[in-house]
Amino acid sequence: MQFFGGSEISPSPPTPTTTTGNNAHMIYIFNRNGVCLLYREWNRPLHTLNPQQDHKLMFGLLFSLKSLAAKMDPTSADKGNLGVPQLPGQGCSFHSFRTNTYKLSFMETPSGIKFILVTNPRTSDLRETLKYIYNLYVEYVAKNPLYNPGTPI
C-alpha cells in the first residue's frame, strides 16, 4: 500500500512502541466538517461527558491547536487571524502532544479526514500507526461502494 509521498507501507501493523501492555485508550475519526465517523474506547477509567459533548470538545481542541500552531509558525509570513478555518495541509501542523496522563497523536489527510489516537503517555511516535489506520480506512471504508460518505462507520 502507498501513502501520500509514495512511500511503501507494510500491510502488517507497526510493532508496539512500549512495553506497558495495552496502550490505546481511544480512537476518533472525524471528517472535514467535524462529524465523528468513528469513536472507540478501550481503557477509559473516567466517563464525565456524554459522547456528543466529548466529540465536540475533541474536534474543538484539534481546531484550536492547529490554529495556534499555524499562528506560531516561524517560517510563514502570512499568519492570518487566529481561529480562522484552514484548508487541510495549510499552516504548520502538529503530530502529537503529551500530558502526565495521556498522549494524543493526530494525523490529517489531504481530504480533511482526521485520525486521533489517545494512548499511554510513554508511547513513542505513532505516525506510522496512524498511516496504517488510514490505509485500512481507505481500503475498507472509502473504497466500499456501500459506504455513504459523511455517515458514521
pLDDT confidence tier of residue 57, bands split at 50, 70 and 90: very high
Domain assignment of residue 103, yes or no: yes
How far is C-alpha 67 from the geometric centre of its chain's CA atoms?
A: 15
Domain count, the chain: 1
Strands (E), the chain: 24-30, 36-41, 96-98, 103-108, 114-119
Domain assignment of residue 10, yes or no: no
Question: How many C-beta atoms lie closer than 10 Å to residue 149's C-beta?
Answer: 9
Question: What value does the mean pLDDT of the chain take?
Answer: 78
Residue 15 has pLDDT above 70, yes or no: no
| pLDDT of amino acid 6 | 45
Domain assignment of residue 82, yes or no: no
Residue 18 has pLDDT above 50, yes or no: no
pLDDT, mean of residues 69-85: 65
| pLDDT of amino acid 19 | 43
The set of cell numbers assigned to 9 is 507501507
Domain assignment of residue 109, yes or no: yes
Residue 37 has pLDDT above 90, yes or no: yes
| pLDDT of amino acid 116 | 93
Which residues, in sequence order, are bridge partners of residue 30? 36, 114
**21/43 Cα distance (integer angstroms):** 11
Domain assignment of residue 1, yes or no: no
pLDDT confidence tier of residue 70, bands split at 50, 70 and 90: confident
Domain assignment of residue 14, yes or no: no
Domain assignment of residue 147, yes or no: no
Residue 22 has pLDDT above 60, yes or no: no
The pLDDT tens digits for 79-98 are 555 555 565 555 566 788 89
CATH number, domain at 111? 3.30.450.70
Check if the beta carbon of residue 35 is closer than 8 Å to that of residue 150: yes
The set of cell numbers assigned to 60 is 474543538
**Structural domain range at position 112:** 24-72+87-141
The pLDDT tens digits for 101-141 are 889 999 988 888 999 999 888 888 888 989 999 999 999 99
Domain assignment of residue 80, yes or no: no
With cell 455517515, the residue in question is 151
**112/109 Cα distance (integer angstroms):** 5
How far is C-alpha 121 from the geometric centre of its chain's CA atoms?
A: 16
